[in-house]
Amino acid sequence: MGEVRRQSRPHRPRSVADALLVDRLSAQLSNWQTSRGLADYAVTDLGGGTGTLAMSLAEAGHRVTVVDPSLDALASLQRRTAERGLADRLQGIQGDAGNLVELLGEASTDVMICHRTLEVVDDVATALSAMATAVRSGGVLSVVVPQRRAAVISQALQGHIGAALEAIDDPSRFDLDQVCSMITEAGFRIAEIEGIGVLSHHVPAAMIESETGLAEQLYQLESRLSRDPAFRAVAAWAHIFASR
């Protein structure tokens, strides 16, 4: 995928889709923080893995806890955290959606992040309910899930018609309406919905890298399409930002 450098201190180039997601989330959190008049806030990244997003939030000065069942991911997170001098603001805890509240406590965090993880939990509704319990009133939730329709399109465009047929009923992917309903039923109010990776996932990385400026143009295109209901419904990822 093409690379876009948008933050002032990037540690490694990110894909166009990841760059857009981080930029959007940063803006949403900044607006929310201003509206709440908070000097600082606590973030929990459920399924945060090796902590790429967690580290950028810690570098922005926030207190971040990554909860993840993978000891390997947590070891990598710990090493990277130490290398960047973030140990006082970023911690990793072994756990999962099932024991989130037990680990952190009720109303223990201001911002809950759950990116690309709802598709691997045992029970999505129970996981969202645990997140709602862990988030303080007035706090926010950021969810990223893979979309079923995008998988159908992607498989078909690669000529994998059988896989496209199977993807129509893939239970590990989501439809936007379905995931939004579940988030609402858990007790959150949806503030913003956007599609991440509407077209960038269909454009070969080599093509983007072959011409200077194409990655930036693709970023602009993704940015324009991300909130159009028709385009966002077929994006690789749905990003939902909600309040508690």
Ligand X SMILES: C[S@@+](CC[C@H](N)C(=O)[O-])C[C@H]1O[C@@H](n2cnc3c(N)ncnc32)[C@H](O)[C@@H]1O
Q: Which residues bind ligand X (CB under 6 A)?
A: 46-49, 68-70, 73, 96-97, 115-117, 120-121
Which residues, including other chains, have CB under 8 Å from residue 64's CB and lie 6 or more apart? 42, 43, 44, 45, 54, 55, 57, 58, 89, 90, 91
Instruction: Kindly tell me which of 51 and 139 has the beta carbon lying closer to ligand X.
Output: 51
Instruction: Kindly tell me which of 98 and 187 has the beta carbon lying closer to ligand X.
Output: 98
Least Cβ distance, residue 92 to ligand X (angstroms) = 11
Instruction: Kindly tell me which of 56 and 155 has the beta carbon lying closer to ligand X.
Output: 56
Contact 200, 16 (CB under 8 A): yes
Instruction: Kindly tell me which of 15 and 226 has the beta carbon lying closer to ligand X.
Output: 15
Q: How far is CA 66 from CA 10, 28, 53, 71, 97, in A?
A: 21, 20, 10, 12, 12
Least Cβ distance, residue 41 to ligand X (angstroms) = 19
Least Cβ distance, residue 95 to ligand X (angstroms) = 7
Least Cβ distance, residue 175 to ligand X (angstroms) = 19
Least Cβ distance, residue 226 to ligand X (angstroms) = 17
Name the CA dihedral angle for 204, 207, 208, 212, rounded to a multiple of 10 degrees: 170
Least Cβ distance, residue 112 to ligand X (angstroms) = 12
Determine the Cα–Cα distance for residues 244 and 18; give it in Å rounded to an integer: 25
Instruction: Kindly tell me which of 71 and 161 has the beta carbon lying closer to ligand X.
Output: 71
Instruction: Kindly tell me which of 170 and 214 has the beta carbon lying closer to ligand X.
Output: 170
